[in-house]
Amino acid sequence: MSTWREGAVNGIPIALGYLAVSFSFGILAKNAGLSAMDAVIMSGTSLTSAGQFAGLTLIATSAALMEVIFAQLIINSRYFLMSASLSQRIDPSTPISHRMIMAFGITDEVFGVSTAVKGTLSPFYTYGVMSVAIPGWMLGTFLGAYSGDILPGNMVSALSIALYGMLIAVIIPPAKGDKVLSGIILISMVGSLLFSVIPLLQMISSGVKIIVLTFLIAGIAAYLFPVKEETEHE
């Protein structure tokens, strides 16, 4: 319980941040035609702002189910790496049930605080973080979806751009001073623009666009500019 409480305390700042961001997602979900309950279920099962934003876009455009599945698989593939990394920090004898629950609740922020734990990571620490962070994400979604019916239209419109601001805040800081990453972001923006203005490319659905651009740009960048692993010298 002490380990769980420590994780819960460290999860409070994450929950507060989630509350603000998911509020905007709730508004967007309501505008896309989802009910408040639909939006909350989506937040409670996905736990990914980028994935939910992309999924919401595909739902709003009536994309095929397989497009949504593949797009989510690609966008959220980083969680495979995060889960694999944390698996090296826990006790080797940890049951598969604990590993699966931890993997389900891994987000960028939960991974960050879990990685910062010194020594062997207890699943119950991550559970503590999850038990506060996930309800914060779901509560913000509910409040956003519910407020879409009671707030003035101009206020809802203003609040709905907060999620876009968060996505920009995620990519701008690491791009500073990194010419490769800055170039990749610029190429991604240009590629997305081309898909939206060229008549032939406009016929391609949103889900396929996301999949094609992600595979092409990320794949080419990984091949041309591989990240070199740092070697430790004793």
Q: Where are the alpha helices (DSSP H) in 61-107?
A: 65-75, 78-87, 96-104
The dihedral through the CA atoms of 205, 211, 215, 217 has a sign that is positive
State how far the Cα of 185 lies from the Cα of 44, in Å rounded to an integer: 29
pLDDT digits over 30-76, tens only? 888 888 899 999 999 888 877 888 888 888 888 888 888 888 888 78
pLDDT digits over 163-212, tens only? 666 667 667 776 777 888 888 888 888 988 888 888 877 777 666 777 77
pLDDT of residue 231: 44
Q: Where are the alpha helices (DSSP H) in 61-205?
A: 65-75, 78-87, 96-104, 108-115, 123-147, 153-159, 162-175, 179-197, 199-202
pLDDT of residue 230: 47
Q: Which of 52, 56, 77 is nearest to 218 (CA)?
A: 77
How many percent of the chain have pLDDT more than 90? 14
Which three-class secondary structure state does DSSP give residue 160?
coil
Residues 102-115, mean pLDDT to the nearest whole number: 86
pLDDT of residue 195: 83
Q: At what angle do helices 2-31 and 162-175 cross, to 10 degrees?
A: 120
State how far the Cα of 145 lies from the Cα of 150, in Å rounded to an integer: 10
pLDDT of residue 127: 92
Q: Which of 170, 137, 158 is nearest to 20 (CA)?
A: 137
Residue with tokens 């694999």: 84
pLDDT of residue 161: 67
Is 60 exceeded by the pLDDT of residue 217? Answer: yes
Residues 7-36, mean pLDDT to the nearest whole number: 86
pLDDT band at 234 (very low <50, low <70, confident <90, very high): very low
Look up residue 154 and give its amino acid: N
Is 50 exceeded by the pLDDT of residue 224? Answer: yes
Look up residue 9 and give its amino acid: V
Structure-token pair, residue 187: 């190429």
State how far the Cα of 77 lies from the Cα of 83, in Å rounded to an integer: 10
Question: Mean pLDDT in the chain?
Answer: 81
pLDDT of residue 1: 83
Is 90 exceeded by the pLDDT of residue 91? Answer: no
pLDDT of residue 227: 60
Which three-class secondary structure state does DSSP give residue 59?
helix
Burial (CB < 10 A; 0-12, 13-18, 19+), residue 218, is middle
Q: Quick one: DSSP state of residue 33?
A: T
pLDDT of residue 153: 65
Q: How many CB atoms lie within 10 A of CB 96?
A: 7
Residues 78-106, mean pLDDT to the nearest whole number: 87
pLDDT of residue 139: 93
pLDDT digits over 131-141, tens only? 999 999 999 99
